[in-house]
Chain A
Amino acid sequence: MTIVEGPVREAVPQGPLKTPFYPRVAKIDTVNQWHEWKGFSSPDALYCEDLEYFSIRNGTAVFDLSPMTKYRVTGPDAMDYLNRLVTRDMAKIKPGRVAYAVWCDDQGQVIDDGTIFHLREGEYRICCQERHFAWFQAATIGFDVDVVHETEDIAGLAVQGPTSYSVLKTMGVEGLEDLKPFGLIHVDFQGTEMMVSRTGFTADLGYELWIDPAKALDLWDALFEAGENFKIRAIGTHALELARIEAGYLAPYAEFLPVDETIRTGRSRSPLELGLEWLVDFKKPNFNGRRALAEEKRKGSTWRLVKLDIEGNKVADSSYIFSNSKAKGESIGFITSAAWSPVCKQNIALGTVRTPHGKPGDTVWVEIYYQREMHWNREMAKATVVDKPFWFPPRRGATPPGPY
């Protein structure tokens, strides 16, 4: 063997990368608070997270969701492939529609959730938080289907809030009048195809825009120009997270852990334990986890996801949940996400409790620790299990949408 001499391969980048929108986001950023999101820099906040939150509920909030993991699924068996992969019936999701879905391992435990866009006949995009290429590839066995990782090939923006329809209309997007929640259309943006879906993480009127990264900055500029009179603002993750909890949506690593990353058995959750039974179609003859989920349905689940309306105003971060006000005996569960809801003026939380506790209407008690000027206080707060999202305004589903 001869001596190896260069050329030297550059080391892979260390630390977070920049998204296609980074130059614009960084330019308006005034607080310099960033975190890493799946290998990319993402802002916690850009100027003030409280005000950013209100742009979701009052105007239009723009959030860079380019780091979301994306896969393209194509081929003659694309639908059959997805039908074995996820628990819900994908045959019902026609082209131009979007499906929220979960996928499980053979034990019926959730690997991840995400949205599946039926872009065109037989052509799908899976959009999710975690990376699953190994799993999605393994799941192709027996199907004539192509799965391609395309995270870096598509830039994405969430455009959410009551004036979002007006902003996009002003920007020149046509066809939004008839676009219902979980619908998608392809439109032209300055000569480039842009996909617009009526989806989001906020339970408000809102859209997501998907485009070639080369047009990302043009899109940003056009959007903010169009939004000038519609209270448009860019936001960071903290504001979105608050809206997410109000909507009662699940977040991985909060409400569930991807089962393939859990070390301890019993730390994962099934769709039934996450209140997602409506996504499990037992009429399908075969899908990953079907046998285990059918068994669980027969025998009953161990855990139940609860939405809690908690009395008082002390946020119940990381709290234990008890069946009684004295915190006697073992806790029945714990809080997974909590917030004071500015729009509902409610102390809200998501949690996981052992069955049979946590039926809608049940009363539970939450042990809250909170700090005031260095000193810690403890409060047992009464909480009611609710079954509806905390925030779900009519304007979210209005078609055609209102102007504001």
Chain B
Amino acid sequence: MKSYDAIVVGAGHNGLTTAAFLAKAGLDVVCVEKNDYIGGATVSRNLYKDWWYSNCSYVCSLLRPEIYRSLELHKHGLQVTPYDGSVTLMENGDYYGGYHDAEAAYREDARFSRKDADAHKNYSADTMRQCRLIRDFLLRTAPDPTSFKPRDLMELARIGGKLNEMGEDRLGETIRFWTMSVAEYLDEYFETDVIKTALSASGIIGTALGIHSPGTAYVLLHHYMGDVDGNVGAWGFARGGTGAVSKAIAGAFQAEGGEIRTEAGVDKFIVKGGKVTGVALDNGDEVHADVVVSAMDVKRTFLNCMDKSDLPEKFYNRVENFKIRGSSGKINIALDGLPTFPALPKGSPLYSADIHFTDSMERMERAYDDWKDGTWSKDPYIDMTIPTTNDPTMAPPGKHFMSCFIQYCPRQVHGRDWTQEDKDGFQKSVFDQISNYSPDFKDLVLHAEVRTPQDIENEIGITEGNIFHGELTMDQLMFNRPIPGFAQYRSPIGGLYMCGSSNHPGGGIMGAPGANAAREILMDLRRPNTVPENFGDD
């Protein structure tokens, strides 16, 4: 049986990123994946005729340009194209459009409130200030605040310096921002309900919290801190769907001699004397290496694939209590043509934008109430995109692929598993909402893939189908992510590392946890570092 220098468990984009940087350093690396396809939740699959879906994640902004460039992802087929704007279709027949052009955006705001139009620039500046702070830490390992190692002390001093340089007043604002709710944050700037609603969604996407829950203001940043070609806050589509990202990283990995084994799910990490020696696969095979890296979420890694007795009790308890609640679902739809939205002017560029149907803070919060009741939102928040208005590769000419991200959707329905009837009900609530604004929508549907958190968990493996591998609240960020004392990609087991989104800096198609983990592993192995440094904004 062949043994390797390193085994990476899970061929999602983070696992592949770690694998690629380790292979680039000359390590003999194998990446094992339970499914017969790679990508994890960064995947494009062909489930119906000539349609390709972005089955889970569907847009791209956070992917670190340093990784893109360093792994030469363009040579492996990746192209990320920016797209413009967003729109909220309103119950009264009006709509609120978010435009890329600053003056058009201003005019649209001013239609509702001149005050809000002017406040928007202050809101953007204040939010960008927070983004700038956090962007600096994305490709860095979070320091351990309890450690006296020179590296931790230097990093802590660096963070202190960054905070200090903001000035007393803005530092105060920053601390408030980290802890307040997105609704409270928006109330400080805006008076118009639909404007606040449109902006508030970024505070709860992928999070089992409501817009009035403390800590949701920070979640905004995960939707603003990315960039496309230096345009911070811009979003793009990967040509061919988000699976193109994983494919490109896999291409870079294989070009460095890396090996990918699909249909090779891990049953257990093999631990001997507190050290990992390899993995036992579902099919009974064993693969050996002194370094094993888990790209799975922290719960699946330690609760499902390990003997309890191998772990410290406190660590185990912390992992059990890690918040990774299912809160969102996905419906991917093949369409026979472009649906019409009569409220929008014909040919409006907003057809290519993120389209939403929730126009009040009240409806936003009520959607969360349903989740707390243990069921899917009857009036859900949908983030709908039609990538084929930009991308010619995902559906036959004239046909379209529609991606619907749906919040809220629980892991279990009233404490039990989902039934087909539940799934039908979930789909109906989404389809009904869309067809309220698009009379021809239902007639155009050729095929739909409905994915509840349960489906995502079963298929992809992410606990509760949580898109961020764990919620992005302050108690689970930076040096607290995933577990205090284990925020530097290492685990209590010697040689066993973590590189998934449960780790700093969290979820999204970012690649940063994967890259950071590779850097730590190479440091432990005393190998030259292949992971690029942060470009820096200044």
A57-B169 Cα distance, complex, nearest whole Å: 46
B-chain residues with CB within 8 Å of residue A106 when the two chains form the complex: 169
A56-B125 Cα distance, complex, nearest whole Å: 38
Question: Are A6 and B342 interface neighbours, CB within 8 A?
Answer: yes
Q: A134 contacts which of B104, B111, B119, B128 (Cβ < 8 Å)?
A: B119
Contact with B along A357-386 (1 / 0, CB 8 A): 000000000000000000000000000000
**In chain A, what residue has the closest Cβ to B435?**
A3
Query: CB of B129 within 8 A of chain A?
Result: yes
Question: Are A133 and B115 interface neighbours, CB within 8 A?
Answer: yes
Question: Are A261 and B437 interface neighbours, CB within 8 A?
Answer: no
Query: CB of B524 within 8 A of chain A?
Result: no
Which of A11-19, A167-175, A311-319 forms part of the interface with chain B? A11-19
Query: CB of A326 within 8 A of chain B?
Result: no
Question: Are A4 and B97 interface neighbours, CB within 8 A?
Answer: no
B-chain residues with CB within 8 Å of residue A135 when the two chains form the complex: 118
B-chain residues with CB within 8 Å of residue A32 when the two chains form the complex: none
Question: Are A5 and B345 interface neighbours, CB within 8 A?
Answer: no
Query: CB of B458 within 8 A of chain A?
Result: no
CB under 8 Å from chain A, chain B span 429-452:
435-437, 439
Query: CB of B343 within 8 A of chain A?
Result: yes
**In chain B, what residue has the closest Cβ to A1?**
B436
A3-B101 Cα distance, complex, nearest whole Å: 30
B-chain residues with CB within 8 Å of residue A265 when the two chains form the complex: 165-167, 170
Query: CB of B142 within 8 A of chain A?
Result: no
B-chain residues with CB within 8 Å of residue A6 when the two chains form the complex: 93, 342-343
A39-B435 Cα distance, complex, nearest whole Å: 36
Question: Are A12 and B342 interface neighbours, CB within 8 A?
Answer: no
A1-B93 Cα distance, complex, nearest whole Å: 11
Query: CB of A9 within 8 A of chain B?
Result: yes
Question: Are B118 and A4 interface neighbours, CB within 8 A?
Answer: no
B-chain residues with CB within 8 Å of residue A36 when the two chains form the complex: 103
A266-B168 Cα distance, complex, nearest whole Å: 12
Query: CB of B272 within 8 A of chain A?
Result: no
Q: A11 contacts which of B91, B166, B167, B348 (Cβ < 8 Å)?
A: B348
CB under 8 Å from chain B, chain A span 1-56:
1-16, 36, 38-39
A3-B344 Cα distance, complex, nearest whole Å: 14
Question: Are B342 and A8 interface neighbours, CB within 8 A?
Answer: yes
A11-B349 Cα distance, complex, nearest whole Å: 10
* Most central of A131, A134, A135, A261 by chain B CB within 10 Å: A134
**In chain B, what residue has the closest Cβ to A7?**
B93
Would you give the shortest CB distance from B497 to chain A, in whole angstroms?
35
Question: Are B125 and A263 interface neighbours, CB within 8 A?
Answer: yes
Q: A1-B436, A135-B118, A263-B132 are in contact. Are A12 and B169 (CB under 8 A)?
A: no
B side interface size, CB within 8 A: 44
A-chain residues with CB within 8 Å of residue B108 when the two chains form the complex: 12
Contact with A along B114-131 (1 / 0, CB 8 A): 111111011001001100
A-chain residues with CB within 8 Å of residue B125 when the two chains form the complex: 260-263
A383-B169 Cα distance, complex, nearest whole Å: 37
**In chain B, what residue has the closest Cβ to A148?**
B114
Q: B169 contacts which of A9, A11, A107 (Cβ < 8 Å)?
A: A107
A6-B94 Cα distance, complex, nearest whole Å: 9
A12-B115 Cα distance, complex, nearest whole Å: 17
Query: CB of B68 within 8 A of chain A?
Result: no
Query: CB of A137 within 8 A of chain B?
Result: yes
Would you give the shortest CB distance from B105 to chain A, in whole angstroms?
9
Question: Are B345 and A4 interface neighbours, CB within 8 A?
Answer: no
Query: CB of B315 within 8 A of chain A?
Result: no
A-chain residues with CB within 8 Å of residue B350 when the two chains form the complex: 11
Question: Are A9 and B91 interface neighbours, CB within 8 A?
Answer: no
Query: CB of B95 within 8 A of chain A?
Result: yes
Question: Are A12 and B97 interface neighbours, CB within 8 A?
Answer: yes
Q: B118 contacts which of A7, A11, A107, A131 (Cβ < 8 Å)?
A: A131
A284-B93 Cα distance, complex, nearest whole Å: 51
Query: CB of A180 within 8 A of chain B?
Result: no
A16-B345 Cα distance, complex, nearest whole Å: 20
**In chain A, what residue has the closest Cβ to B99?**
A14
A391-B118 Cα distance, complex, nearest whole Å: 36
Would you give the shortest CB distance from A129 to chain B, in whole angstroms?
13
**In chain B, what residue has the closest Cβ to A38?**
B103
Contact with A along B344-372 (1 / 0, CB 8 A): 11101010000000000000000000000
A-chain residues with CB within 8 Å of residue B308 when the two chains form the complex: none
Question: Are A134 and B89 interface neighbours, CB within 8 A?
Answer: no
Question: Are B118 and A133 interface neighbours, CB within 8 A?
Answer: yes
Q: A4-B93, A14-B104, A265-B165 are in contact. Are A134 and B439 (CB under 8 A)?
A: no
Question: Are A261 and B122 interface neighbours, CB within 8 A?
Answer: yes
Question: Are A263 and B436 interface neighbours, CB within 8 A?
Answer: no
A284-B310 Cα distance, complex, nearest whole Å: 71
Question: Are A9 and B343 interface neighbours, CB within 8 A?
Answer: yes
**In chain B, what residue has the closest Cβ to A11?**
B345
**In chain A, what residue has the closest Cβ to B190?**
A134
Question: Are B342 and A261 interface neighbours, CB within 8 A?
Answer: no
CB under 8 Å from chain A, chain B span 166-194:
166-167, 169-170, 189
Question: Are A39 and B118 interface neighbours, CB within 8 A?
Answer: no
A-chain residues with CB within 8 Å of residue B316 when the two chains form the complex: none
Query: CB of B106 within 8 A of chain A?
Result: yes
Query: CB of B318 within 8 A of chain A?
Result: no
A5-B340 Cα distance, complex, nearest whole Å: 11
Query: CB of B107 within 8 A of chain A?
Result: yes
Contact with A along B81-115 (1 / 0, CB 8 A): 00000000101011101010101101110010011
Question: Are B89 and A107 interface neighbours, CB within 8 A?
Answer: no
Query: CB of A132 within 8 A of chain B?
Result: yes
Query: CB of A149 within 8 A of chain B?
Result: yes
A-chain residues with CB within 8 Å of residue B111 when the two chains form the complex: 12
A135-B128 Cα distance, complex, nearest whole Å: 19
A15-B118 Cα distance, complex, nearest whole Å: 18
Question: Are A133 and B104 interface neighbours, CB within 8 A?
Answer: no
**In chain A, what residue has the closest Cβ to B165?**
A265
Contact with B along A119-154 (1 / 0, CB 8 A): 000000000000111110100000000000100000
Given contacts A5-B93, A13-B104, list 4 more A-B pairs with CB under 8 A.
A3-B439, A11-B348, A135-B118, A260-B122
Can you list 30 A-B pairs with a CB-CB distance of less than 8 A?
A1-B91, A4-B91, A7-B93, A8-B342, A8-B343, A8-B346, A9-B94, A9-B95, A9-B345, A10-B345, A11-B350, A13-B104, A38-B103, A39-B103, A39-B107, A106-B169, A107-B167, A107-B169, A131-B106, A133-B114, A134-B115, A134-B118, A135-B118, A260-B121, A263-B125, A263-B132, A264-B538, A265-B165, A265-B167, A265-B170
Q: What is the interface of chain A, defined by CB distance below 8 A to chain B?
A: 1-16, 36, 38-39, 106-107, 131-135, 137, 149, 260-266
Nearest first, the 10 A-B pairs at minimum CB distance are A134-B119, A12-B107, A134-B118, A39-B103, A133-B118, A265-B167, A4-B93, A14-B104, A263-B129, A131-B118
